[in-house]
Structure 1
Amino acid sequence: QSSQLEKINLGCLTLNSEVLVFSSTVTSVPQKCFMNNQHINYVQLNQIQELDYQCFIGLLNLRLIEGLQLKTIQKQVFQECSNLERANFPLLQKIGENSFCLCQKLQLFDFRSNNKFSLSQCEFYHCKGLLFVSILSVIDLGIESFSNCANMQRCSFKSAENIKQNCFYGCVQLKWVQIPKVKHIQKEAFQGCVSLKYVQLDQNRCQIHKNSFNGCGNLKFVKSAFQNKKQVNTKRVKQKIQRINNLQRLY
């Protein structure tokens, strides 16, 4: 860690009362730089655009991080930051494997960038605190990207075209998924999603593996979750969809 810290001029950062602040002259954080540091509660990245491999891994007391200029997160950057609750990266363009793996209290991931990108594997694995996820610009949802997010109830990926194996495996509270442009859903992508009721997609353009929805006994496909009254005609479902729509406006 000390050798990596030497790459940052120590006058360009401050750590006061568990708050880590980088100056505007720092644009990247080297690999493993703050690994397993237990004195950091909040991080303000300012002008930093890239976080390298494992630079914040294992920060058990980290709760909030803001990076308004951040564009790239490499592999395992926040893995096992078990108390991280919120990450705000509006310009993010790349998320590496296992980036937020085992961040069990992560509740809000603010992602508003229009730059197209892909998830590859286990980015949000076992993030039990996630309730709702909306990422407008993701094209590919990776292997186990959201696996075992046990409390996630709704998700929206309006640009997603491919959903890979075990992507949502074990998301037992997931009820509603919006993937209107999806073209391929690989095997066991939604296996064990026992509460899943509605998936918005176009069945005429989507190839679905026969085992994609194993264990989803109450599933119904809807082409348009907001307009198809013949398929979604109960007052209760309409109210749920309206709440989702209201949440999406926040993102």
Structure 2
Amino acid sequence: LKGMQIEKTLEKACYWMFSLMGFDFPQLKVIQKFSFCACLNLKYIVLNLVQIGAQHMFQHCWCLLYAEMNAIQEVPIDGFKNCKSLQHCCFINAKKFQENSFIDCDSLVSITCSSTVDHEKAGLQPQVIFQTSFNIKQSQDQHTQKQFEQFRQRPIKLRYNCSLVELASNTVQIILSDTFKNYFKLRFIHIPKVKMIGQRAFFQCYNLKEVNVKELQVVKQQAFYACTQLSSINLSTVETMEMQAFFYCTMLNNLNLQNLKTMQADTFSYCNELKHVKLNELMEKNSFWANFTLKKHLKWGYFSFVKTQLKIKVQQKKLRVINVLFSKM
């Protein structure tokens, strides 16, 4: 969204705008109640002219990583409540953090603010570090190395010193229940040998964008519940999906369900962007798909792209060798 002249938002202006990834309001000074509440996929906000913010202004922005509002005097009640992925904040001129302004911000590492700011009732986690200038702080990972000993890890550095993680394993065949539950830092996972994903295995992995699977057959109850960033997963081999398996996957829009035999009525509830779906004859008779206007299924994804790029590079090397040989003739 872009609004060059907007100085004040309306109440609930962008309320529940699940697909909003960012906005540009350079003149914004006042944010009303619920203005950006439940913008699930919003990642960064830098609003240094905003002086007044109202209750619940960014509540439930589950993917929000960084917030900077250096002109605001008070962070309002429930202002950033339940922003589970929020890692760093900057409020240089704030004098008070109102009641529960940061409650349930489980990933929050540091806040840059005045040393005299009143934060007694803000609902902050004990690990939060207060600082008067913005410095790099390492996010404290609540998931232990032991849980991930079968996975290769790669940290991903993002803007404003935020970070996410990619995981990969070519041997794991089952993802057990609750394995990655509430792992807000997970962005990609490569698990080509996995045949079953257990209950709540990726529950509320808000920043998970892609899952690379090739032999997956069973997706258990709430396996990807509220993975609001998830947009790419190969389900062409899946035969069974249990209740709420992809509930609230608001960015999911491309599916291949050619081998699916069983699914529940709420398997894909609140997948509002779902448009490209390949169905078999059995699924075409399922009443869930009756209200969908479906388009042709597409093949795309991060890991597929990387693999394609490698093939192109190999072909280019062969061509260069051929050119050298011809030039010497």
- Taking structure 1 as the reference length, the TM-score comes to 0.53
Alignment of 1:114-193 (within 5 A): 117-136=261-280, 138-139=282-283, 157=284, 160=285, 162-163=286-287, 167=288, 174-175=292-293
**1:110 to partner: Cα distance:** 2.6
Matched residue, 2:126:
none
Question: After TM superposition, what 4+ stretches of structure 1 lie above 3 angstroms from structure 2?
Answer: none
Matched residue, 2:210:
64
Provide the C-alpha distance between the structure 2 equivalents of 1:175 and 1:76, rounded to a whole number of angstroms. 25
Matched residue, 2:180:
34
Secondary structure in 1 aligned to 2:233? strand
Matched residue, 1:12:
150
**1:90 to partner: Cα distance:** 2.2
Provide the C-alpha distance between the structure 2 equivalents of 1:99 and 1:111, rounded to a whole number of angstroms. 14
Provide the C-alpha distance between the structure 2 equivalents of 1:88 and 1:96, rounded to a whole number of angstroms. 17
Provide the C-alpha distance between the structure 2 equivalents of 1:68 and 1:137, rounded to a whole number of angstroms. 22
Q: Higher relative contact order by CA 8 Å / sep ≥ 6: 1 or 2?
A: 1
Provide the C-alpha distance between the structure 2 equivalents of 1:82 and 1:127, rounded to a whole number of angstroms. 9
Provide the C-alpha distance between the structure 2 equivalents of 1:2 and 1:40, rounded to a whole number of angstroms. 11
Alignment RMSD, CA only? Answer: 2.9
Structure 1 position 83 matched with structure 2 position 221: no
**1:119 to partner: Cα distance:** 1.6
Contact 2:275 2:293 in 1 (8 A): no
Tell me which amino acid in the other structure corresponds to 2:208. L
Structure 1 position 99 matched with structure 2 position 245: yes
Please list every run of 5 or more consecutive structure 2 residues that lacks an aligned counterpart in the other structure.
1-141, 156-164, 300-329
Q: Give aligned-pair identity as a percent.
A: 15
Provide the C-alpha distance between the structure 2 equivalents of 1:41 and 1:76, rounded to a whole number of angstroms. 18
Provide the C-alpha distance between the structure 2 equivalents of 1:35 and 1:55, rounded to a whole number of angstroms. 6
Contact 1:66 1:89 in 2 (8 A): no
Provide the C-alpha distance between the structure 1 equivalents of 2:143 and 2:297, rounded to a whole number of angstroms. 43
Secondary structure in 2 aligned to 1:41? strand
**1:20 to partner: Cα distance:** 1.2
Cα distance change on mapping 1:81 and 1:133 into 2, 3 Å: same
Contact 1:2 1:33 in 2 (8 A): no
Larger Rg: 2
Provide the C-alpha distance between the structure 1 equivalents of 2:203 and 2:193, rounded to a whole number of angstroms. 21
1:179-215 CA-to-partner distances (Å, cap 9, x unmatched) read xxxxxxxxxxxxxxxxxxxxxxxxxxxxxxxxxxxxx
1:71-113 CA-to-partner distances (Å, cap 9, x unmatched) read 1100000010011111112211111110111000111123333
Tell me which amino acid in the other structure corresponds to 2:186. I
Provide the C-alpha distance between the structure 1 equivalents of 2:178 and 2:263, rounded to a whole number of angstroms. 22
Secondary structure in 2 aligned to 1:103? coil
Provide the C-alpha distance between the structure 1 equivalents of 2:254 and 2:184, rounded to a whole number of angstroms. 22
Provide the C-alpha distance between the structure 1 equivalents of 2:257 and 2:212, rounded to a whole number of angstroms. 12
Please list every run of 5 or more consecutive structure 1 residues that lacks an aligned counterpart in the other structure.
140-156, 177-243
Secondary structure in 2 aligned to 1:117? coil
**1:127 to partner: Cα distance:** 0.5
Provide the C-alpha distance between the structure 2 equivalents of 1:249 and 1:84, rounded to a whole number of angstroms. 15
1:39-93 CA-to-partner distances (Å, cap 9, x unmatched) read 1111111211000100001001000111101111000000100111111122111
**1:124 to partner: Cα distance:** 0.6
Secondary structure in 1 aligned to 2:167? strand
